[in-house]
Amino acid sequence: MKDYVIMAGTASFELGNAIARKHDKELIVVDKKQFSDGEIFVKIEESIRGKDVYYIQSTSSPANDNLMELLLTLDAIKRSSPGSITLVMPYFGYARQDRKTESRVPISAKLVADLIERVGINRLVTLDIHADQIQGFFDSPVDNLYGVNIFIDSCVLNTENTIIASPDAGGVGRARYFAKKLNINDLAIIDKRREKANESEVMNVIGSVEGKHVVIIDDMVDTGGTLIKAAKAFKEHGAVSVKACITHGVLSGNAFKNFEEGKNYLDKLYITNSIEQGLLPDNIEVIDSSDLFAEVIRRLVHNESISSLWR
Protein backbone atom coordinates (compact mmCIF):
# COMPACT_ATOMS: atom_id res chain seq x y z
CA MET A 1 0.00 0.00 0.00
CA LYS A 2 1.37 3.39 -1.04
CA ASP A 3 1.54 6.25 1.40
CA TYR A 4 -1.34 8.67 0.90
CA VAL A 5 -2.13 12.22 1.92
CA ILE A 6 -5.35 14.25 2.21
CA MET A 7 -5.68 17.87 1.14
CA ALA A 8 -8.67 20.23 1.15
CA GLY A 9 -9.56 23.45 -0.59
CA THR A 10 -11.19 26.54 0.88
CA ALA A 11 -14.74 25.44 0.04
CA SER A 12 -14.39 22.06 1.81
CA PHE A 13 -11.84 22.74 4.52
CA GLU A 14 -14.04 21.73 7.48
CA LEU A 15 -15.25 18.58 5.74
CA GLY A 16 -11.71 17.74 4.65
CA ASN A 17 -10.47 18.17 8.22
CA ALA A 18 -13.14 15.78 9.50
CA ILE A 19 -12.24 13.21 6.85
CA ALA A 20 -8.51 13.48 7.63
CA ARG A 21 -9.15 12.97 11.35
CA LYS A 22 -10.99 9.73 10.59
CA HIS A 23 -7.78 8.57 8.87
CA ASP A 24 -5.63 9.75 11.81
CA LYS A 25 -3.98 12.27 9.50
CA GLU A 26 -3.39 16.00 9.36
CA LEU A 27 -4.39 17.88 6.23
CA ILE A 28 -1.48 18.80 3.97
CA VAL A 29 -1.24 22.58 4.18
CA VAL A 30 -2.01 24.49 0.97
CA ASP A 31 -1.16 28.16 1.18
CA LYS A 32 -3.72 30.22 -0.74
CA LYS A 33 -3.45 33.93 -1.50
CA GLN A 34 -5.57 36.23 -3.59
CA PHE A 35 -4.01 39.23 -5.26
CA SER A 36 -5.73 42.60 -5.40
CA ASP A 37 -6.86 41.98 -8.97
CA GLY A 38 -8.55 38.71 -7.96
CA GLU A 39 -5.92 36.27 -9.21
CA ILE A 40 -5.42 33.21 -6.98
CA PHE A 41 -2.07 31.78 -5.93
CA VAL A 42 -1.62 28.39 -4.26
CA LYS A 43 1.43 26.58 -2.89
CA ILE A 44 1.68 23.10 -1.33
CA GLU A 45 3.78 23.50 1.80
CA GLU A 46 5.37 20.03 1.95
CA SER A 47 6.59 17.28 -0.34
CA ILE A 48 4.01 14.86 -1.76
CA ARG A 49 6.38 13.13 -4.19
CA GLY A 50 5.30 9.56 -4.90
CA LYS A 51 2.27 9.77 -2.59
CA ASP A 52 -1.36 9.14 -3.52
CA VAL A 53 -3.16 12.46 -3.09
CA TYR A 54 -6.83 12.83 -2.16
CA TYR A 55 -7.85 16.44 -2.77
CA ILE A 56 -11.24 17.57 -1.45
CA GLN A 57 -12.91 20.66 -2.91
CA SER A 58 -16.49 21.60 -3.80
CA THR A 59 -17.26 24.29 -6.34
CA SER A 60 -19.99 25.99 -4.35
CA SER A 61 -20.41 29.74 -3.90
CA PRO A 62 -18.32 31.66 -4.88
CA ALA A 63 -18.34 29.08 -7.65
CA ASN A 64 -15.81 30.66 -9.97
CA ASP A 65 -13.22 31.33 -7.25
CA ASN A 66 -13.56 27.81 -5.88
CA LEU A 67 -13.35 26.25 -9.33
CA MET A 68 -10.23 28.26 -10.17
CA GLU A 69 -8.66 27.30 -6.83
CA LEU A 70 -9.45 23.65 -7.59
CA LEU A 71 -7.78 23.79 -11.01
CA LEU A 72 -4.70 25.63 -9.76
CA THR A 73 -4.28 23.25 -6.83
CA LEU A 74 -4.62 20.20 -9.09
CA ASP A 75 -1.94 21.68 -11.34
CA ALA A 76 0.33 22.27 -8.33
CA ILE A 77 -0.26 18.68 -7.20
CA LYS A 78 0.51 17.27 -10.65
CA ARG A 79 3.76 19.26 -10.82
CA SER A 80 4.78 17.85 -7.41
CA SER A 81 5.21 14.30 -8.80
CA PRO A 82 2.51 12.46 -6.81
CA GLY A 83 1.80 8.76 -7.16
CA SER A 84 -1.82 9.46 -8.15
CA ILE A 85 -4.45 12.19 -7.85
CA THR A 86 -8.01 11.51 -6.68
CA LEU A 87 -10.27 14.54 -6.79
CA VAL A 88 -13.09 14.43 -4.24
CA MET A 89 -15.80 16.92 -5.24
CA PRO A 90 -18.62 16.68 -2.70
CA TYR A 91 -20.57 19.22 -4.75
CA PHE A 92 -19.97 19.45 -8.51
CA GLY A 93 -20.88 22.99 -9.58
CA TYR A 94 -22.13 23.85 -13.08
CA ALA A 95 -23.74 20.38 -13.23
CA ARG A 96 -27.17 21.85 -13.99
CA GLN A 97 -25.88 22.95 -17.40
CA ASP A 98 -25.35 19.41 -18.70
CA ARG A 99 -26.92 19.73 -22.18
CA LYS A 100 -28.05 22.27 -24.75
CA THR A 101 -31.59 23.36 -23.92
CA GLU A 102 -31.62 26.16 -26.52
CA SER A 103 -29.46 27.57 -29.28
CA ARG A 104 -26.12 29.29 -28.64
CA VAL A 105 -25.60 28.16 -25.04
CA PRO A 106 -22.64 26.25 -23.56
CA ILE A 107 -22.64 22.79 -22.04
CA SER A 108 -20.89 24.05 -18.93
CA ALA A 109 -20.66 20.70 -17.14
CA LYS A 110 -18.71 19.29 -20.10
CA LEU A 111 -16.36 22.29 -20.11
CA VAL A 112 -15.66 21.90 -16.37
CA ALA A 113 -15.02 18.18 -16.88
CA ASP A 114 -12.61 18.96 -19.75
CA LEU A 115 -10.70 21.48 -17.61
CA ILE A 116 -10.33 18.97 -14.77
CA GLU A 117 -9.25 16.22 -17.17
CA ARG A 118 -6.78 18.55 -18.87
CA VAL A 119 -5.09 19.36 -15.56
CA GLY A 120 -4.85 15.64 -14.91
CA ILE A 121 -6.56 13.39 -12.37
CA ASN A 122 -6.66 9.63 -11.95
CA ARG A 123 -10.13 9.41 -10.42
CA LEU A 124 -13.11 11.57 -9.48
CA VAL A 125 -15.27 10.95 -6.43
CA THR A 126 -18.44 13.03 -6.18
CA LEU A 127 -21.76 12.99 -4.35
CA ASP A 128 -25.15 12.93 -6.11
CA ILE A 129 -23.99 14.56 -9.32
CA HIS A 130 -26.97 16.40 -10.80
CA ALA A 131 -27.09 14.44 -14.06
CA ASP A 132 -25.73 10.89 -14.39
CA GLN A 133 -24.53 11.49 -17.95
CA ILE A 134 -21.85 13.88 -16.63
CA GLN A 135 -19.89 10.79 -15.63
CA GLY A 136 -19.43 10.17 -19.35
CA PHE A 137 -17.78 13.58 -19.76
CA PHE A 138 -14.71 12.16 -17.97
CA ASP A 139 -12.17 9.71 -19.32
CA SER A 140 -11.03 8.99 -15.76
CA PRO A 141 -13.08 6.66 -13.52
CA VAL A 142 -15.93 8.39 -11.67
CA ASP A 143 -17.45 7.21 -8.39
CA ASN A 144 -20.82 8.92 -7.95
CA LEU A 145 -21.88 8.35 -4.34
CA TYR A 146 -25.52 8.24 -3.26
CA GLY A 147 -26.53 10.90 -0.76
CA VAL A 148 -29.63 8.99 0.30
CA ASN A 149 -27.41 6.55 2.20
CA ILE A 150 -26.26 9.41 4.45
CA PHE A 151 -29.87 10.26 5.30
CA ILE A 152 -30.86 6.63 5.89
CA ASP A 153 -28.11 6.28 8.49
CA SER A 154 -28.51 9.68 10.14
CA CYS A 155 -32.05 11.08 9.91
CA VAL A 156 -34.72 10.15 12.40
CA LEU A 157 -37.59 9.23 10.10
CA ASN A 158 -40.79 7.51 11.11
CA THR A 159 -41.18 4.73 8.54
CA GLU A 160 -44.72 3.92 9.67
CA ASN A 161 -47.40 5.57 7.54
CA THR A 162 -44.66 7.27 5.51
CA ILE A 163 -44.54 7.89 1.77
CA ILE A 164 -41.43 8.83 -0.19
CA ALA A 165 -41.86 11.61 -2.73
CA SER A 166 -39.98 12.96 -5.73
CA PRO A 167 -40.32 16.67 -6.61
CA ASP A 168 -40.32 15.80 -10.33
CA ALA A 169 -40.39 12.83 -12.69
CA GLY A 170 -36.61 12.93 -13.14
CA GLY A 171 -35.98 12.11 -9.49
CA VAL A 172 -38.20 9.03 -9.30
CA GLY A 173 -35.23 6.63 -9.44
CA ARG A 174 -33.59 8.30 -6.45
CA ALA A 175 -36.87 8.28 -4.49
CA ARG A 176 -37.51 4.62 -5.34
CA TYR A 177 -34.00 3.65 -4.16
CA PHE A 178 -34.58 5.49 -0.85
CA ALA A 179 -37.99 3.85 -0.40
CA LYS A 180 -36.56 0.40 -1.05
CA LYS A 181 -33.83 0.95 1.54
CA LEU A 182 -36.50 1.82 4.13
CA ASN A 183 -38.86 -0.98 3.02
CA ILE A 184 -41.51 1.56 2.02
CA ASN A 185 -43.69 0.65 -0.95
CA ASP A 186 -45.55 3.90 -1.59
CA LEU A 187 -44.25 6.71 -3.80
CA ALA A 188 -45.63 10.13 -4.65
CA ILE A 189 -44.55 12.44 -7.48
CA ILE A 190 -45.04 16.14 -8.07
CA ASP A 191 -46.10 16.91 -11.63
CA LYS A 192 -45.18 20.52 -12.35
CA ARG A 193 -46.80 22.27 -15.24
CA ARG A 194 -47.46 25.80 -16.41
CA GLU A 195 -50.99 26.08 -17.79
CA LYS A 196 -50.40 29.44 -19.51
CA ALA A 197 -47.47 31.73 -20.21
CA ASN A 198 -46.61 34.11 -17.38
CA GLU A 199 -48.65 32.07 -14.89
CA SER A 200 -47.11 30.30 -11.89
CA GLU A 201 -46.52 26.57 -11.97
CA VAL A 202 -49.36 24.26 -10.97
CA MET A 203 -48.28 21.45 -8.62
CA ASN A 204 -50.24 18.25 -9.22
CA VAL A 205 -49.72 15.34 -6.82
CA ILE A 206 -49.50 11.84 -8.27
CA GLY A 207 -50.19 9.29 -5.54
CA SER A 208 -52.21 9.38 -2.33
CA VAL A 209 -50.60 11.30 0.57
CA GLU A 210 -53.68 11.82 2.71
CA GLY A 211 -52.94 11.07 6.38
CA LYS A 212 -49.30 10.23 5.63
CA HIS A 213 -45.87 11.57 6.52
CA VAL A 214 -44.21 12.71 3.29
CA VAL A 215 -40.43 12.62 2.82
CA ILE A 216 -39.21 14.44 -0.29
CA ILE A 217 -35.94 13.19 -1.80
CA ASP A 218 -33.80 15.29 -4.15
CA ASP A 219 -30.17 16.07 -4.97
CA MET A 220 -30.19 19.86 -4.70
CA VAL A 221 -32.11 22.75 -3.16
CA ASP A 222 -31.29 26.28 -4.30
CA THR A 223 -33.72 29.09 -3.49
CA GLY A 224 -36.24 26.60 -2.09
CA GLY A 225 -39.23 28.12 -3.89
CA THR A 226 -40.18 24.96 -5.78
CA LEU A 227 -39.62 22.79 -2.69
CA ILE A 228 -41.96 24.95 -0.60
CA LYS A 229 -44.61 24.81 -3.34
CA ALA A 230 -44.32 21.02 -3.43
CA ALA A 231 -44.64 20.82 0.37
CA LYS A 232 -47.69 23.07 0.24
CA ALA A 233 -49.28 20.83 -2.41
CA PHE A 234 -48.72 17.75 -0.23
CA LYS A 235 -50.23 19.48 2.81
CA GLU A 236 -53.23 20.59 0.74
CA HIS A 237 -53.71 16.94 -0.31
CA GLY A 238 -53.90 15.84 3.32
CA ALA A 239 -50.30 15.06 4.32
CA VAL A 240 -49.76 15.02 8.09
CA SER A 241 -46.17 16.26 7.81
CA VAL A 242 -43.65 17.04 5.08
CA LYS A 243 -39.89 16.64 5.46
CA ALA A 244 -37.17 16.81 2.81
CA CYS A 245 -33.81 15.04 2.54
CA ILE A 246 -31.77 16.92 -0.05
CA THR A 247 -28.07 16.31 -0.57
CA HIS A 248 -26.74 19.72 -1.61
CA GLY A 249 -27.92 22.84 0.20
CA VAL A 250 -27.03 25.57 -2.31
CA LEU A 251 -29.41 27.96 -0.48
CA SER A 252 -28.86 31.07 -2.57
CA GLY A 253 -30.95 34.16 -3.25
CA ASN A 254 -34.15 34.31 -1.18
CA ALA A 255 -33.74 30.80 0.22
CA PHE A 256 -33.92 31.68 3.91
CA LYS A 257 -36.86 34.02 3.36
CA ASN A 258 -38.68 31.28 1.43
CA PHE A 259 -38.08 28.71 4.18
CA GLU A 260 -39.27 31.14 6.84
CA GLU A 261 -42.44 31.93 4.92
CA GLY A 262 -43.00 28.24 4.11
CA LYS A 263 -42.37 26.77 7.57
CA ASN A 264 -46.06 25.84 7.91
CA TYR A 265 -45.70 23.60 4.86
CA LEU A 266 -42.18 22.15 5.14
CA ASP A 267 -41.61 20.85 8.66
CA LYS A 268 -37.93 19.95 8.31
CA LEU A 269 -35.16 20.12 5.72
CA TYR A 270 -32.13 17.84 6.01
CA ILE A 271 -29.04 18.66 3.93
CA THR A 272 -25.48 17.33 3.99
CA ASN A 273 -22.29 19.32 4.55
CA SER A 274 -21.21 18.84 0.91
CA ILE A 275 -21.56 22.62 0.88
CA GLU A 276 -20.36 24.36 4.02
CA GLN A 277 -23.04 26.47 5.70
CA GLY A 278 -23.21 29.41 8.06
CA LEU A 279 -25.99 29.99 10.59
CA LEU A 280 -29.16 28.18 9.53
CA PRO A 281 -32.84 28.45 10.54
CA ASP A 282 -34.17 25.94 13.07
CA ASN A 283 -36.04 23.95 10.41
CA ILE A 284 -32.83 23.16 8.46
CA GLU A 285 -30.46 20.49 9.83
CA VAL A 286 -27.04 19.55 8.43
CA ILE A 287 -26.09 15.85 8.32
CA ASP A 288 -22.38 15.02 8.34
CA SER A 289 -21.09 13.25 5.22
CA SER A 290 -17.49 12.78 6.41
CA ASP A 291 -18.02 9.13 7.41
CA LEU A 292 -19.05 8.23 3.87
CA PHE A 293 -16.14 10.04 2.21
CA ALA A 294 -13.65 8.69 4.74
CA GLU A 295 -14.83 5.14 4.08
CA VAL A 296 -14.64 5.59 0.31
CA ILE A 297 -11.07 6.89 0.58
CA ARG A 298 -10.18 3.96 2.85
CA ARG A 299 -11.54 1.53 0.26
CA LEU A 300 -9.65 3.22 -2.55
CA VAL A 301 -6.43 3.09 -0.54
CA HIS A 302 -6.91 -0.66 0.00
CA ASN A 303 -8.27 -1.37 -3.51
CA GLU A 304 -11.63 -2.48 -2.15
CA SER A 305 -15.04 -2.28 -3.82
CA ILE A 306 -16.97 1.01 -3.70
CA SER A 307 -20.21 -0.35 -5.14
CA SER A 308 -20.57 -2.84 -2.29
CA LEU A 309 -21.38 0.12 -0.03
CA TRP A 310 -24.86 0.27 -1.61
CA ARG A 311 -25.71 -3.42 -1.50
What is the tens place of the pLDDT at every residue in 92-145? 999 999 999 889 999 999 999 999 999 999 999 999 999 889 999 999 999 999
Question: What are the E-state strand segments in 132-254?
Answer: 142-145, 162-166, 187-193, 202-206, 213-221, 241-249
Q: What is the pLDDT of residue 198?
A: 43
**pTM of structure:** 0.92
Tally of CA atoms within 13 A in the half-sphere of 207 that contains its CB: 23
Catalytic residue selected from 192, 232, 235, 243: 192
What is the tens place of the pLDDT at every residue in 26-56? 999 999 999 999 999 999 999 999 999 999 9
Angstrom distance (rounded) from CA 31 to CA 36: 17
Average pLDDT of the residues in 259-273: 94
Q: What is the pLDDT of residue 181?
A: 87
- Enumerate residues 6+ apart whose C-beta is below 8 A from 170: none
- Enumerate residues 6+ apart whose C-beta is below 8 A from 184: 159, 162, 163, 164
Q: Domains (ranges, CATH) in the chain?
A: 4-146+291-310 (3.40.50.2020), 149-288 (3.40.50.2020)
Q: What is the pLDDT of residue 131?
A: 87
For residue 251, the SS3 value is coil
Q: What is the pLDDT of residue 156?
A: 62
Please check the confidence at residue 299 and state whether its pLDDT lies above 60: yes
**192 noted as active-site residue:** yes
- Enumerate residues 6+ apart whose C-beta is below 8 A from 138: 113, 116, 117, 124
